[in-house]
Amino acid sequence: INNAVAYFIQEHGRLTMNCMLVASNAISSLIVLVLLDSAIEHRPRLLDLQPWRYLHKQHIQYSQTITTDHAIQVTRFPRDSECILDFTYTIMYSKESDHHRTLPPNLLLSHMAGRNTRVLGNILICKTTNSSYLVDLQPDDAVFMQQVLIAYAVDYGIEQNDGD
């Protein structure tokens, strides 16, 4: 996380939300603070997240590490379960063609799900109530979401090809 941006958040009293980052070159997932829209005072929603303002390279605009162009909503797990989870988890990711650049393979998911699993780039996971309000993702959620990510990477697919 960029220290200059963290200082900006602290200095300006900006609100943040705990989300899970599965960085493409990391060996473990992290719970990170993601900036919220400055107009939000309480009960933020997914649209209020601004990961591109906080999680980026060298505090350079348009050099994003997290892009949230596509999302998968996880309300049940396994996916065909009749039981609905107490919270909804949103897995955000990008396709290579979204930004006309090559995304690196996600090393953590390749390690956890097997070398033949092809998931590209960084993944950001957020947690919402069933009323669609964001809540902080906790360490126990991160452990659960790693299992969900493996299932989606191996069995269900995180579609990152141009053909969908």
Q: Give the pLDDT of residue 82.
A: 92
Give the rounded percent of residues in the chain with a pLDDT score beyond 70. Answer: 75
**pLDDT top residue among 100 and 56:** 100
Give 141: exposed, middle or buried? Use CB within 10 Å, 0-12, 13-18, 19+: buried
Q: Give the tens place of pLDDT for each residue, 84-96.
A: 999 999 998 877 6
* Cα-only R_g, the chain: 16
Q: Give the pLDDT of residue 59.
A: 43
- Could you give the angle at the alpha carbon of 54 between the alpha carbons of 100 and 111, nearest 5°? 65
161 domain residue, yes or no: no
Q: Over 50: is that where the pLDDT of 149 sits?
A: yes
State the residue range of the domain holding 120: 3-156
Q: What is the dihedral of CA 117, 67, 45, 19, to 10 degrees?
A: 60
81 domain residue, yes or no: yes
147 domain residue, yes or no: yes
164 domain residue, yes or no: no
Q: Give the pLDDT of residue 113.
A: 83
Mean pLDDT, range 145-157, rounded to an integer? 84
Confidence of residue 145 (pLDDT cuts 50, 70, 90): very high
Domain count, the chain: 1
Q: What is the mean pLDDT of the chain?
A: 78
Mean pLDDT, range 111-139, rounded to an integer? 86
Mean pLDDT, range 4-32, rounded to an integer? 80
**pLDDT top residue among 87 and 3:** 87
115 domain residue, yes or no: yes
Distance CA 125, CA 87 (A): 12
127 domain residue, yes or no: yes
163 domain residue, yes or no: no
